[in-house]
Amino acid sequence: MADPANERDIAIVERQLGRYPRGMVAVGARCVCGRPLAVVTRPVLPGGIPFPTTCYLTSPEAVKAVSHVEANGVMAEYNAMLAADDEAGRELRAAYRMAHDLYLAFRHELAVRLGDSEEHIAGTSAGGMPVRVKCLHALLAQTLVMGRGANPIGDLTLARIAGEFAPNVCRCAIDAE
């Protein structure tokens, strides 16, 4: 794991989420200030609960910014783009399918490394992938963890919320200590 979670990260994420981040194995993306923005969660939580949302958005500022654009009907817009019967639609569908495959490959590597079973989440990624847009929070989390180019809808979401949230502009309100 490139950036394993330490005690301080876990304490910050607990405050961001308002609950203990069970199964958190790494920080997937950090704000320019160092605080976690998204975490990597293991495929099976302690207690045996299957957990498909491997890349999980924790930054309250990012969560809020995404909720604003979701409330403005952006998901319907992205679903229409995905369904478009033209070249742009075909390209977007192909890239979105690749984001899904990448998500599954990322989780599979994690499952193998941790000895977690994917039995109950096989083929399930997050956010509505591979054919629908259902949760922009999950798609943005993938973009933050894997970088631009990994998920086209996550990339669009990040661009759309730039005025409210960006990983290189610290707006964190959660204390580190």
Residues in contact with Zn ion by CB under 5 A are 31, 33, 35, 170, 172
Q: Which residue type, as a one-letter code, is found at position 61?
A: E
Least distance from Zn ion to the Cβ atom of residue 170, Å: 3
| Tokens 């999950």, residue located | 138
> Nearest-CA neighbor of 118 among 129, 131, 99, 103?
103
C-alpha to C-alpha distance for 121 and 42, rounded to whole angstroms: 12
Choice between 31 and 110, CB closer to Zn ion: 31
Least distance from Zn ion to the Cβ atom of residue 176, Å: 9
Least distance from Zn ion to the Cβ atom of residue 31, Å: 3
Choice between 125 and 143, CB closer to Zn ion: 143
Beta bridge partners of 24: 41
Least distance from Zn ion to the Cβ atom of residue 171, Å: 7
Q: Residues 54, 43: contact at Cβ < 8 Å?
A: yes
Contacts of 57 (CB under 8 A, 6+ apart): 37, 38, 63, 66, 137, 138, 140, 141, 144
Choice between 105 and 170, CB closer to Zn ion: 170
Choice between 31 and 144, CB closer to Zn ion: 31
| DSSP string of 152-168, one letter each residue | HHHHHHHHHTTTT-BTT
Least distance from Zn ion to the Cβ atom of residue 78, Å: 27
C-alpha to C-alpha distance for 124 and 17, rounded to whole angstroms: 24
Choice between 62 and 82, CB closer to Zn ion: 62
